[in-house]
A and B are shown apart, each in its own frame.
Chain A
Amino acid sequence: MKFEGKLFVMAMVFYLVVAVIYGFWSRDESGIVLLLFTGAMALIVAFFTLHVSRKVYPRPEDNEDALPEDANPDYGFFPPHSWMPLPLAGSMAIIVLGLVFAVWLVVLGVVLLLFSLVGWVFEYYRGDHAH
């Protein structure tokens, strides 16, 4: 994980240097701010990867002699299928239509959005899947 972290640290340093050069030349505040934010974006990923690299064991990816079967087959829990994204997207569509045409549609959309969010978040916490 350390290598990924270093890559993003390098990206961050690059954006910061560019922000300074750009700032000296253009004196354009919004451009400087955007470049600084891009540096911060790289910082988020760098911080996370460096932080995690101290917690996880060396991965097969970090070992030049690794074999394909060394990779941990356990990627995590992925639900086989879910209908919930469909109502979620539908309620977002209603909200956006409501912003254009009528405010009451937004209210309806938000209510539907909350219902579909609850459905999605608790899908594997109910019925047969309760744990």
Chain B
Amino acid sequence: MASVTAQETRPRLPVNRPNTVAVGTIVWLASELMFFAALFAMYFTMRSIDVEGFHEHAQILDVPFAALICVILVLSSVTCQLGVFAAERGDRKKLEMWFIITFIMGAIFIGGQVKEYMALVEEGLTLSSSSYGSVFFLTTGFHGLHVTGGLIAFLFVLGRLYVSKRFTHEQATTAIVVSYYWHFVDVVWIALFTTIYILQ
């Protein structure tokens, strides 16, 4: 058996470090999570004061419809990730295709939320009608604003892809960090959906 003497040399591997943009995005998302934690705490504080009233108000929610747009949002996370896999392969066309599909699905979610809001306002539930109305519109509204921000971010990613001649690491990074944000918004919605529509 040939013996191999392990030479104690310091490895001269090409040193790498995590992408600074990705690290920054993750730190920012962690702080964003604290923002949503405050919204959830607000919801549960108001609910603990008036549990009966919250159950009563929640009866006017259209749960099946909300579940439908929730599924669409969750599936858009899948298409977004398929876009990221394409970006990592350097497949620009596929990345564009998947991100456009994700954008459309996100837009359907926002459209559905607007429709839901209009139905609720017709039922008499507004931001100032009751404590339930306040927390409902504040929590889902801030989430909706985040989704809208994500949609704008997708447009910026696509815009950068269209104006750049070559597909480089830079475009891939942009696509990846936007996908981080999109998954984050998606997971927050799953928590919000469980809290507001299922737990009531």
Chain A 87-131, CB-CB to B under 8 Å as 1, else 0, gives 000000000000000000000000000100110011001100011
B16 touches A72 (CB 8 A): yes
Instruction: Give Cα A44–Cα B188 distance, bound, in whole angstroms.
Output: 12
- Min CB distance B189 to A, Å, is 14
Binding site for A on B (CB under 8 A): 10-11, 13-23, 26-27, 29-31, 33-34, 36-38, 40-45, 47-48, 152, 156, 159-160, 163-166, 168, 170, 184
A residues less than 8 Å from B184 (CB atoms)? 44
Give which listed residue, A33, A56, A63, contacts B11 with CB less than 8 A.
Answer: A63
Given A34-B40, A37-B37, A118-B156, 19 other A-B contacts at CB below 8 A? A29-B44, A29-B47, A30-B40, A30-B41, A30-B48, A33-B40, A38-B37, A44-B29, A48-B26, A56-B18, A57-B15, A59-B15, A63-B11, A70-B15, A72-B17, A117-B156, A125-B164, A131-B166, A131-B168
- Are A41 and B34 in contact, with the CB atoms below 8 A? yes
Most buried by A among B14, B16, B36: B16
Whether B18 lies near A37 (C-beta < 8 A) is no
Task: Judge if A52 is at the interface, Cβ distance under 8 Å.
Answer: yes
Which residues of chain B come closer than 8 Å to A25, judged between CB atoms? Answer: none
Nearest-neighbour CB distance to chain A for B30, whole angstroms, equals 5
Query: Do A121 and B18 touch across chains, with their CB atoms under 8 A apart?
Result: no
Please measure, in the bound complex, the distance between the C-alpha atom of A21 and the C-alpha atom of B141, giving whole angstroms.
32
- Rounded to whole angstroms, the CA-CA distance of A118 and B159 in the bound complex is 10
Residues of chain A touching chain B, judged by Cβ–Cβ distance below 8 Å, are: 1, 28-31, 33-34, 37-38, 40-41, 44-45, 48-49, 52, 56-60, 63, 65-66, 70-72, 75-77, 114, 117-118, 121-122, 125-126, 130-131
Task: Give A92 Cβ to nearest chain B Cβ, in Å.
Answer: 13
Closest CB-CB distance, A70 to chain B, in whole Å? 6
Cβ of B41: which chain A residues have Cβ within 8 Å of it? 30-31, 33-34
Provided the pairs A37-B34, A37-B40, A70-B15 are in contact, do residues A76 and B20 lie with their beta carbons within 8 angstroms? yes
Task: Decide: A45 and B26 in contact? CB cutoff 8 A.
Answer: yes
Q: Judge whether B27 and A125 touch: CB under 8 Å.
A: no
Asked if A57 meets B14 with Cβ closer than 8 Å, knowing A37-B36, A121-B156, A130-B163, the reply is yes
Minimum CB–CB distance from B175 to chain A (whole Å) comes to 13
Complex Cα distance, B160 from A1, in Å, reads 31
B10 touches A131 (CB 8 A): no
Distance between Cα atoms of A117 and B160 in the complex (Å): 13
B30→A45 contact, CB < 8 A: yes
Q: Which residues of chain B come closer than 8 Å to A58, judged between CB atoms? A: 11, 13
Check B21 against A76 for contact (C-beta < 8 Å). yes
Do the beta carbons of A56 and B17 come within 8 Å of each other? yes
* B residues in contact with A131, CB < 8 Å: 164-166, 168
**Shortest distance from the beta carbon of A102 to any chain B beta carbon, whole Å:** 18
A32 to chain B, nearest CB (A): 8
Q: List 26 A-B contacts (CB under 8 A).
A: A29-B45, A33-B41, A34-B41, A37-B33, A44-B26, A45-B27, A48-B23, A56-B17, A57-B13, A59-B15, A59-B17, A63-B11, A70-B15, A71-B15, A75-B17, A76-B19, A76-B20, A117-B152, A118-B156, A122-B160, A126-B163, A130-B163, A130-B164, A131-B164, A131-B166, A131-B168
